[in-house]
Amino acid sequence: MRLPDWMRSRGPEHQPTGLDRVRFFQARHNGPLAVGFAFALALLTIVVAGWMVVQVADWRRTAAVAPSAGASATPEPISAVGTPRDLFAGTPAASFALREKAIVLPAATAQGPFDKVQVRAALDSVRKALIESRLETAMLVGDTEPFLGVLAPDSRAEMRPHFDNARFLHVATRIGSQADWEYDIRAQGRISYRARTVAGVRLLEVTTEFVWAYPFDVMRRAPAGAGLVAVRDRVVWQVPHPKDVPASSRGLWLASAKAVTWNADCAWLRDGWVNVMQWLPDLHGPRVPGGDPGDFFDLAVPMASTSRC
């Protein structure tokens, strides 16, 4: 049997290229190569991690010894909520007295049918009412009973329904966010009194005019005054002569009250609560959200007829 020529002839020889040699080497050493690559990668990861730890440690040491003042000091944080600071600085309220110290009673003198002792008792009851309505925590968190307890029994029953809506803001303050409000209140005011007769009832009438400044924590970048809400009020209190009214009507009555606010959040006010207007740097820039207070804090200037809200 004779084989065809193509079966008897020698095929052309193929010389391996450099790529072929790499493939042959990889095929013979595939396992060791994989192990070596994994080891090199792990070693590189350890080196990089060590370098990062050293850099962080150096940065912390540098920050610890950096000066705390001067233009080159580390910038203060954007927000410093909870950090104690003077939120009254740079505002008219900076010179106001703290809390009860702001309520200074005039000297008591006899007025008409009211002797000096009766006038002093009436002034003391007005001072107590101011403290309970504008300063005490009970009212600030919504408990009205301590304030109502200062009034005459019949007046108490008449005033209680007013606390079901926002009308009582003219005479009392409830704070809308106790989580942010952590600082002392400041105030400034004046008190006067006179004797008069209305519908045959002899009255000692006491008029109080005050500006109450309530601080709220805000961003440290906020301008002076951005963390304050101010309430300016004018309240007329009356004490009837004990011989002219029954026992249930003896004591302090609220005759009239009016108040305006500055830098207060209108949505909270409509619900009967006082809260600060939120300040955001991208919306307000350097200005105070409530605008320039103008004569708001000046008791020598007549109070505005209405609030911005």
Per-residue model confidence (pLDDT) at position 49: 62
Please determine, for residue 25, whether its predicted confidence score (pLDDT) is greater than 60: no
Please determine, for residue 70, whether its predicted confidence score (pLDDT) is greater than 50: no
Instruction: Tell me whether residue 276 is in a domain.
Output: yes
Per-residue model confidence (pLDDT) at position 235: 96
> Quick check: 277 and 264 in contact, CB under 8 A?
yes
Q: What is the pLDDT of residues 28-52, one digit of tens each?
A: 555 555 555 556 666 666 765 665 6
Instruction: Tell me whether residue 138 is in a domain.
Output: yes
Instruction: Tell me whether residue 20 is in a domain.
Output: no
Q: What is the pLDDT of residues 76-104, one digit of tens each?
A: 333 344 455 678 888 889 999 999 999 99
Per-residue confidence band for 146, with pLDDT thresholds at 50, 70 and 90: very high
Per-residue model confidence (pLDDT) at position 84: 53
Per-residue model confidence (pLDDT) at position 293: 77
Distance, CA of 89 to CA of 95 (rounded, Å): 9
DSSP secondary-structure letter at 252?
B
Q: Domain tally for the chain?
A: 1
Please determine, for residue 74, whether its predicted confidence score (pLDDT) is greater than 50: no
Lowest mean pLDDT among 12-16, 89-93, 239-243: 12-16
Distance, CA of 268 to CA of 280 (rounded, Å): 18
Instruction: Tell me the whole-structure pTM to 2 decimals.
Output: 0.69
More confident call, 266 vs 119: 119
More confident call, 80 vs 221: 221
Instruction: Tell me whether residue 226 is in a domain.
Output: yes
Instruction: Tell me whether residue 85 is in a domain.
Output: no
The angle at the Cα of 41, spanning 38 to 42, to the nearest 5 degrees, equals: 85
Comparing C-alpha atoms, which of 182, 139, 187, 175 is closest to residue 276? Answer: 175
Domain residues for the domain of 231 are: 92-284
Which residues are CB-neighbours of 70 under 8 A, at least 6 positions away? none
Per-residue model confidence (pLDDT) at position 181: 59
